[in-house]
Structure 1
Amino acid sequence: MIRTYKEAVDWIHSRLTLGMKPGLKRMEWMMEKLDHPERRIKAIHVGGTNGKGSTVCYLRNILQQAGYSVGTFTSPYVEQFNERISINGKPISDVEIMKLVQVIKPLAEELEQTELGGPTEFEVITAMALYYFGKMNIQDVVLFEVGLGGRLDSTNVIYPLLSLITNVGFDHTHILGDTLEQIAFEKAGIIKAGVPVITAVDQKEALDVIYERAKSLKAKVYELNNHFTITHHEATENGEQFSLQTPFALYRDLSISMLGAHQVKNAALAVMAADYLRTYYSFIIEEQHIREGVRQAQWIGRFEKISKRPPIILDGAHNMEGIESLVQTIQTHYPNKSVHVLFSALRDKPLKPMIEALANIAETITFTSFDFPRAATAEELAEQCNHHAKQCVDDWKQWIKQKRKTAKNDDLIVITGSLYFISDVRKFLKMNTFVGKIADIIKEK
């Protein structure tokens, strides 16, 4: 019997040993046993290679500004496990996690005795979220982020109001396929009969797959740069500004604080989704709700400035598309800075092109590793790099401390790679900032 939060989380993480088992049979079995909580949820499904979390964040903030209570299911977490299931951006409590595990654990054990086998960690967490939002704490709307792919992802048991597909890129190719068409087929698997899909996918071969799937299910497609259009985009000192024409309205000079052209696309998807909800589902969303929602949206670990002096950027650019967006954003917003990169990643990523792209803008590039089963060693990463000023470090915490002390006025410190690594770094930086502030207060006294 689970009696503490720690026991609950430890049990969830113990499911990692089962790995990934694509398919919906185990989820459908659990939903049947739980009396189908997924059918009681007003859901919006968000898939794609990159930008899912940011898009969820923009849309959540718009809906909150309009007075709605919004649940979210996202992954992975950056600060604490509980944030994967949140309400209005606030993670659910330790007690609620414990109660959810008390419900799901007996089911998992029963399922383990069937021919289907036991549920994976992600299936367990998804079942927890569906039970929570369908039975324990029903919300006005819940935004579900796809874990991996879409067609066989455990979140795909929901029947949403809207489906969003951010983009299609080469990630998890060993599971999803190694062509854009194959990956798009998996992403398009979240499209449901009669449920409109909003997308920022821009490759013709991927779009053709999405349109074919949507046509077969009589689902209307709203495509960025076709049915809704970004205009007058410019980078500002504190973010991005752009106008957006949707089929229903024109929004002039929207401002966002998350940096990068890719964030403009994510925000545009969210605005288009809000506009659709307002027009066809009678959500009471005014223009000021949209303006304030996108302006206030922040998503930790995504081109996040964690320090001003020296400027330190944290970015969970864990695949090639993420690295390309990171490089473009640095070149746009910090064109005259001397860039010093700290990089760590999982060994199953396309490391060589990712590292080459970073090396092209870096004054120095440093490789390290972290405590995670699939993490590459610093030496494995360095082997992929020909930069004249590359190095390996075992103690990345000491590297950061030293870099903060010796940084010059024109230096920019960029820490990037796996989101799991960024999570560790962010916790370390926040703790050191807190300790530093306490020390300053003591000195003043």
Structure 2
Amino acid sequence: MNKKNNPAFQSYEEALSFLYKAIDYEKLINYQYNASTFSLERMKKLLAYAGNPHRELPCIHITGTKGKGSTAIMISTILEHAGLTTGLFTSPHLIDIKERIQINHKKISAPEFTSILNDLRPYIQHLRETELSASPTFFEMLTAAGMLYFKKKRVEMAVLEVGLGGRLDSTNVILPQVAIITNVGLDHTAILGNTLSSIAFEKAGIIKQHVPVVSGVEAPEALPVIEKACREKDAPLYLLGRDIWVEEVRSFDRNGTRGLICKIKTWRHTYHDIVLPLVGIHQAQNCALVLGALEVMRCRNYISISDDVIREALASLYCPARIEIFSKNPSIILDFAHTVDSMRFLKKTLLENFKFHKLILILGFSQDKDLDNILKEIVWEGDCIVVTRSRNPRAAEPDDLYRRIEKLCGKRSKILDNVRDAVASAKQIASQDDLICITGSAYLAGEARQSLDLQ
């Protein structure tokens, strides 16, 4: 680990090249999910080399099958508005890898990213040369980089979103002030298990001794698993529907801005007329979990935030590619519904909140998803369907999606092999009264956003 044998990166591009040489499970389809492949010991050793930045990090830990990204953005936005220097670690990114590591919603700069990787480089390079199987993965390197960056910048609170599952995720080395488990659904079944109880077991892995948990889990197969883990860890559990309630939700459309007005009640307080510039009732549920988590932290004197600050912060929310209205005439919606439940929410939101003549769908998914059941939720509604693929190696082939859709509903899709052409084709087909919905993987959403920005 001699630094003389590991000269510093000369550029951001060189640092990225070093990062991308690590094994990246976000781009692999088949791999073993176990404590050897996803080793927290490997992560702990990397962090020990970096000075254990996670041990000095006041933080909030978030997992769940759906909604964890929106929830992370919501709570970090509130903390920032309260005057706290707030770190945010999320995944995956839409366009720029630096999106994953932010402070006060400003992504890490290229020089800072390069500098952080330079700090980690000697250790990683040594392992690559001497014990390759023990060298950190792509996501572990990013997680360590985020924690080290937050420590160097002296963040006062960090919000960390789990990458995969929870129990063996590289973020699961932290001791948070509160944990949020948004929900449990069937996703990554080949990795996390094909039952709700097995997936709940993985999510429950983030529960720590005496650390309060706020959760939206309600499925009869999943909830007992969460409750059992909380009992074993003596961790107080606050549940949506039992301790936290979404009492009223109504939609609004003011000067072209759509959103929700909510009444949310916790076990100790009622929040009237909360304005969320987001569509879909599921966002009101995510907001309720956020308010529950803040309530826990306020009760324990971890933070001090007024109701006015909470309202102001929530009214300013921006959650990219979460049923995001990108443009009008024709309306274009960008989303990355990649599970059965999230596609069901998307369909319900489209039908209940938007008026359109024809629905034009651009679809692209990762091949390891429950494709038939996801497609069942949306393809019947499409008047025109374009299937495509992102550049990610895990992307399903458009020909495969075409065959599945034809078998499901008899509809024939238009096949385009890249996202840019798919977006251009949909815009050419659409009239001003139509709605274009681009959905599937986050990688598809990111490439679609780039294409829309260029057109």
Is TM more than 0.5 here? Answer: yes
Does 2:246 correspond to 1:230? yes
Partner of 2:57: 41
SS at match of 2:165: coil
Partner of 1:364: 384
SS at match of 1:169: coil
Q: Structure 1 length normalisation: TM-score?
A: 0.93
- 1:235-285 Cα distance to aligned partner (Å, 9 max, x none): 222111211111221001211111111111111111111222222124120
Alpha carbons 2:329, 2:433 under 8 Å: kept = no
**Which whole-Å CA distance do the structure 1 matches of 2:75 and 2:275 have between them?**
14
- 1:77-126 Cα distance to aligned partner (Å, 9 max, x none): 11311111100111011011101111112212334434861111001111
Does 2:138 correspond to 1:121? yes
Partner of 2:450: 427
Instruction: Give, as a single letter, the amino acid of the residue that structure 2 aligns with 1:8.
Output: A
SS at match of 1:289: helix
Q: Which structure 2 residues correspond to residues 346-357 of structure 1 after superposition, within 5 A?
A: 346-357=366-377
C-alpha displacement of 1:73: 0.5
SS at match of 1:131: helix
Q: Which structure 2 residues correspond to residues 143-158 of structure 1 after superposition, within 5 A?
A: 143-158=159-174
Partner of 1:331: 351
Q: Which structure 2 residues correspond to residues 5-404 of structure 1 after superposition, within 5 A?
A: 5-16=12-23, 21-112=37-128, 113-114=130-131, 117-134=134-151, 136-237=152-253, 238-386=258-406, 387-404=410-427
SS at match of 1:235: strand
C-alpha displacement of 1:389: 4.4
**Which whole-Å CA distance do the structure 2 matches of 1:271 and 1:111 have between them?**
43
Alpha carbons 2:423, 2:448 under 8 Å: kept = no
- RMSD across aligned positions (CA): 1.6
SS at match of 1:236: strand
**Which whole-Å CA distance do the structure 2 matches of 1:289 and 1:300 have between them?**
22
**Which whole-Å CA distance do the structure 2 matches of 1:412 and 1:59 have between them?**
31
SS at match of 1:347: coil
Alpha carbons 2:385, 2:413 under 8 Å: kept = yes
| Matched residue count | 431
Alpha carbons 2:50, 2:120 under 8 Å: kept = no
**Which whole-Å CA distance do the structure 1 matches of 2:402 and 2:289 have between them?**
37
**Which whole-Å CA distance do the structure 2 matches of 1:299 and 1:408 have between them?**
27
Alpha carbons 1:167, 1:202 under 8 Å: kept = yes
**Which whole-Å CA distance do the structure 2 matches of 1:397 and 1:33 have between them?**
43
**Which whole-Å CA distance do the structure 1 matches of 2:411 and 2:54 have between them?**
54
Stretch deviating more after TM superposition (1-10 or 190-199): 1-10
SS at match of 1:167: coil
SS at match of 1:22: coil
Stretch deviating more after TM superposition (401-410 or 287-296): 401-410
Identity between Structure 1 and Structure 2 (%) = 34
**Which whole-Å CA distance do the structure 2 matches of 1:247 and 1:370 have between them?**
44
Partner of 1:443: none
Partner of 2:433: 410
SS at match of 1:239: strand
SS at match of 1:195: coil
- 1:15-35 Cα distance to aligned partner (Å, 9 max, x none): 136767222010111122222
- 1:117-154 Cα distance to aligned partner (Å, 9 max, x none): 111100111111111112x1111100000000000000
Alpha carbons 2:24, 2:139 under 8 Å: kept = no
For structure 2, the 5+ residue unaligned runs are 1-6, 32-36
For structure 1, the 5+ residue unaligned runs are 433-445
Alpha carbons 2:360, 2:426 under 8 Å: kept = no
Instruction: Give, as a single letter, the amino acid of the residue that structure 2 aligns with 1:124.
Output: M
Alpha carbons 2:388, 2:422 under 8 Å: kept = no
**Which whole-Å CA distance do the structure 2 matches of 1:17 and 1:242 have between them?**
40
Alpha carbons 1:316, 1:418 under 8 Å: kept = yes
**Which whole-Å CA distance do the structure 2 matches of 1:38 and 1:395 have between them?**
40
C-alpha displacement of 1:403: 3.2
Alpha carbons 2:94, 2:445 under 8 Å: kept = yes
SS at match of 2:334: strand
SS at match of 2:405: coil
Instruction: Give structure 1 regions of 4+ aligned residues with deviation exceeding 4 angstroms.
Output: 17-20
Alpha carbons 1:159, 1:192 under 8 Å: kept = yes
Alpha carbons 1:25, 1:116 under 8 Å: kept = no
Alpha carbons 1:342, 1:416 under 8 Å: kept = yes
**Which whole-Å CA distance do the structure 2 matches of 1:81 and 1:395 have between them?**
21
